[in-house]
């Protein structure tokens, strides 16, 4: 039966660790310039209803390196943008390509696409989740800290798709997560209660320093995600102080690493000094999107 990659909680620890093992292997093979055509002759359709730099480039390059081909399809130049229903797009795409990566607004639309497609569907970001980013983030932690399940993770900022994905990751892998958001910008209650039922160790606060104290992995994201641009001004007010800066690093573990999925708004959610400083691993993290997604595609589409 085909499997999709929509949400981390659909996968077991063993399955996700197998993806990390394959990532390590594919990354090493690529660095040695050894061919690794695990998807020779296969095609990935990439549907984009939101902007992207990393996701688009890493999936397209990744597919090429695996011996396959990727098609960039944006809503503005396909019939999706003119209202063709997702259920028709799903069935048509299933007859042309071997896998679909989609970036869109509604997570329910991606679930519908997956239900109606005969081929694997990969979530390249919805308003609710960004699971490929989480896999790259965790792989980066593995590279820098080895024992990623015994680190304390801290999220400072918006309770957005990335925060929801960290909650899922904490629920699946069992690590300690602390989330600091402004009042009114907490993560999705449904995501929180599912994690609670799964026994996740997560604390929620409105105090960034409390969340960061002693933490080994610090993480943040823009104050206004794609689709929320018109809230930027109001959010700038609400999010003052929800920033990874020198003061936050002073209370965190002295060996901490700093993640950011990028794009970053310097001196809003993170200072220029921190993102360019010695604790920041954001470009390793961005690179790992390529390696992790190759492993995800190979796992689903081989």
User: Which residues are the active-site residues?
Assistant: 103, 130, 133, 221, 261, 289
**Count of alpha carbons within 13 angstroms of residue 122, beta-carbon side:** 27
Q: Which of residues 47-76 bind ligand CP (CB under 6 A)?
A: 52-55
Q: Which of residues 152-171 bind ligand NVA (CB under 6 A)?
A: 160-162
CB nearer ligand NVA, residue 127 or residue 253? 127
Instruction: Confirm or reject binding of residue 225 to ligand NVA (CB under 6 A).
Output: yes
Instruction: Confirm or reject binding of residue 211 to ligand CP (CB under 6 A).
Output: no
| Residue 168 interacting entry, from ligand NVA, ligand CP, none, C-beta within 5 to 8 Å by type | none
Instruction: For 68-128, give the DSSP string.
Output: -EEEEEETTTSGGGGT--HHHHHHHHHTT-SEEEEE-S-HHHHHHHHHH-SS-EEE---SS
| Residue 219 interacting entry, from ligand NVA, ligand CP, none, C-beta within 5 to 8 Å by type | none
Q: Which of residues 243-272 bind ligand CP (CB under 6 A)?
A: 261-262
Measuring CA to CA, which residue among 142, 147, 131 is closest to residue 191?
131
Q: What is the closest distance, in whole angstroms, from the C-beta atom of residue 23 to ligand CP in the complex?
A: 17
Q: Is 302 exposed, middle or buried (0-12, 13-18, 19+ CB in 10 A)?
A: exposed
Residue among 8, 39, 171, 222 that touches ligand NVA (CB under 6 A): 222
Chain position carrying tokens 């989330």: 179
* H or E segment to which residue 220 belongs: strand 217-220
Distance from C-alpha of 181 to C-alpha of 6, rounded to nearest angstrom:
25
Which residues contact ligand NVA by CB under 6 A?
Answer: 125, 160-162, 221-222, 225-226, 261
Site residues (vs ligand CP, CB under 6 A):
52-55, 125, 133, 261-262
């Amino acid at each position: 039966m085909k499997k999709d990659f929509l949400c981390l909680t659909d996968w077991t620890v063993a399955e996700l660790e197998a993806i990390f093992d394959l990532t390590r292997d594919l990354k090493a093979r690529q660095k040695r310039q050894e061919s690794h055509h695990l998807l020779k002759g296969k095609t990935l359709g990439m549907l984009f209803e939101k902007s992207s730099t990393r996701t688009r480039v890493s999936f397209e390059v990744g597919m090429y390196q695996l011996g396959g081909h990727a098609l960039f399809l944006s809503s503005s130049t396909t019939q999706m943008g003119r209202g063709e229903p997702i259920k028709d797009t799903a069935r048509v795409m299933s007859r042309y390509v071997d896998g679909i990566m989609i970036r869109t607004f509604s997570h329910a639309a991606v679930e519908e696409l997956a239900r109606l497609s005969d081929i694997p569907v990969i979530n390249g970001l919805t308003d609710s989740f960004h699971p490929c980013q989480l896999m790259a983030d965790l792989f980066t932690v593995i590279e820098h800290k080895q024992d990623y399940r015994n680190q304390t993770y801290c999220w400072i900022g918006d309770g957005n798709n990335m925060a929801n994905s960290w909650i899922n990751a904490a629920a699946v892998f069992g690590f300690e997560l602390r989330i600091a958001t402004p009042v009114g910008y907490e993560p999705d209650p449904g995501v929180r209660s599912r994690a609670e039922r799964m026994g996740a160790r997560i604390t929620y606060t409105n105090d960034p320093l409390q969340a960061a104290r002693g933490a080994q992995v610090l993480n943040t994201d823009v104050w206004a995600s794609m689709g929320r641009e018109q809230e930027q001004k109001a959010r700038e007010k609400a999010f003052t102080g929800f920033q990874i800066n020198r003061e936050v690093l002073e209370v965190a573990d002295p060996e901490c690493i700093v993640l950011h999925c990028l794009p970053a708004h310097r001196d809003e959610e993170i200072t220029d000094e921190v993102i360019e400083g010695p604790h920041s691993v954001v470009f390793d993290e961005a690179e790992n999107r390529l390696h992790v997604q190759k492993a995800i595609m190979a796992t689903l589409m081989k």
